[in-house]
Structures are given as structure tokens and as C-alpha cells.
Structure 1
């Protein structure tokens, strides 16, 4: 008996992508990265206008502006990254990963926007440290606070609340046999 798992079993040949498939994949990756970068720039521009001469100028100290910039980069980048991925999921599918239906896509977009709101609230709260700390320290704290703000959400047992599903379960036609 061999120590390797799957020894003695013939390996199924992996399908090869065509050159057109590789080009389409590369174009999709570039599109997603471009929308993520543009989303980050757009969010930073909107937050900059809201803070400098805008309605938040009296609430956010000068030393806390960097924290809002960090939050804008995170929220805009996440939105720019996830929206094309969700839209691709609506039009692309196969037997292993079926297409995302419009209701599920709308729930995913809503979840991304709620998470963006969480990131902006965290960055706004960290920006308040600018009343006490220098700008550089506030920016470093903002990077860690915004970067790790998703950790409590990852620890919530969403499946027990009836809000999870789909992440750990197999998908496709054989999923009903494996779930039993």
C-alpha cells in the first residue's frame, strides 16, 4: 500500500484551455483589477471632497484625514473588485459552478455595500484619534483597524443564524448526492 492518496487510481486528464480561453481569462483579470483600482480612486476622491471643504470638515480632524483615505481605498477597492466578479458569475457557469441567479447576485451586492459601510464607519472612528495622535500614527492605526475589521464578521456562525450557506457545500449536479 502506498502512502500517497490516490495511488493506483488513474488520473483523469485535465482539460486544457485554448489560447482564446487564456486571452479571455487574462482580459477578465485585467478588468477586475482595473475596476478595483478605479473604485479605490473614486472612493478616495469622494471622501476627500466630503472632508476637506465639505460637510465632514468639522467632524474629522486634520490629522485624521489619512484614516478616511485608508477606509476609502478599502471600500472602493472591495466594491470595484466584487461587482465584476458577481456580474461574471451571473453570465458564466458550468456543471460544477452554476450561474448566479439575479436574487442571489442582489444579495451579494447588498452584502458588499453593507461591508463597505462597516469599513467607512471604522475608518471614521479611527479618524477621531486624530484629535489626540499625530497624522502618521493615526494612518498606521487606520491600516490595521480597517484591514482587520472583517475578523469579527468571520467569527459569527452565519450558518446557525440561517444566513450562511454555499461556502462549504459542494455545488453542481453531484451536490445533492454528497449532501445526503
Structure 2
């Protein structure tokens, strides 16, 4: 059941991100910043930001209500910090998509879309190397999966 909820919120988040970014480029002062051939780069950014937020937010919420003896539930303060970090990451992806859309001034739409996919796909790599544990932002998925799949003999070591 949890996997269905997470996949549904990820898909709905991606659609919401696309609708948000598409609406932002059509009816706002933001229109003059983005070239005509760069609109698809913003759509790619909306897919990325909405999908990541839709994927991770239910897992944080599930982490607040589920727990065991070895793995206690996530507290409200820690969950709020994780949600804020998630929103900052979503804004970061949207900013990268705006920067990638600027290639649309020089290149055709198909190439701009390709550049946006690679820019958004690889832009988070430096963020993956930050020692988030030292900042108090440990991952929900890695900690929970790692602690549940250990056997008793591995935990005793």
C-alpha cells in the first residue's frame, strides 16, 4: 500500500510541477526571461522538482508514524527539517532549469531540452557528496532500509 501511495504522489507531483512551470512561463513577468526554445527546459525542471518532492514527502510522513524497537519514528522537528531541505532542493532544481533554459537563446528546442535533462540530472551530484549526517539531515530511506534488512547476527557485530 505504501509503495502505491508513494508512486501516486510522485506522479501527481511531477504533473503539478509541469503545470506550475508551464503556467509560470505563460502568464507572468517571468516570460521575458525565458526564450521560446527554453520552455521545455522549465518543464523538465518541473518534472524533476515535483517528482522528487512527491516521492520523498510521503516517505518522511510514513517515517513519522512507523517505527520499531531498533528504529524509532522520526520526530516532528526532524521531519520539518527534512521537509524544508526537500523544498530547498526543489527550488534548486527549478533554478537550474531556468539557467538551462537560457541555452534556448542560441540553440533549437530539442537541443535545449537535451541540455536541460543533463543539467538537471547531473546538477545534484555535488549535493550527494555533502556529509548530510554532520548537518543532522540523514536520509529517511537509507537508514530505514539498512536497519530493517540486517539480521541479528549482523547487528551483534
Q: Give the TM-score normalised by the residue count of structure 1.
A: 0.74
Distance 1:40 1:108, change over 3 A: same
In the TM superposition, what is the alpha-carbon distance from 1:166 to its structure 2 partner? 4.4
Distance 1:134 1:74, change over 3 A: same
In the TM superposition, what is the alpha-carbon distance from 1:149 to its structure 2 partner? 1.1
| 1:96 corresponds to | 70
In the TM superposition, what is the alpha-carbon distance from 1:157 to its structure 2 partner? 3.7
Q: Give the TM-score normalised by the residue count of structure 2.
A: 0.85
Structure 1: gaps of 5 or more residues: 1-26, 173-177
Higher-RCO chain (CA-CA 8 Å, sequence separation at least 6): 2
Q: Considering only CA atoms, is the larger Rg found in Structure 1 or Structure 2?
A: 1
CA contact 2:17–2:49 (8 Å) conserved in 1: yes
Distance 1:81 1:100 in 2: 17
Q: How does 1:13-92 map to 2 (within 5 A)?
A: 27-92=1-66
Question: What is the RMSD computed on CA atoms of the aligned residues?
Answer: 2.1
Distance 1:147 1:140 in 2: 10
- For residue 155 of structure 1, the aligned residue among 104, 108, 129 is 129
Aligned pairs, number: 145
Structure 2: gaps of 5 or more residues: 149-154
Distance 1:114 1:165 in 2: 13
- As a proportion of its length, which structure holds more helix? 2
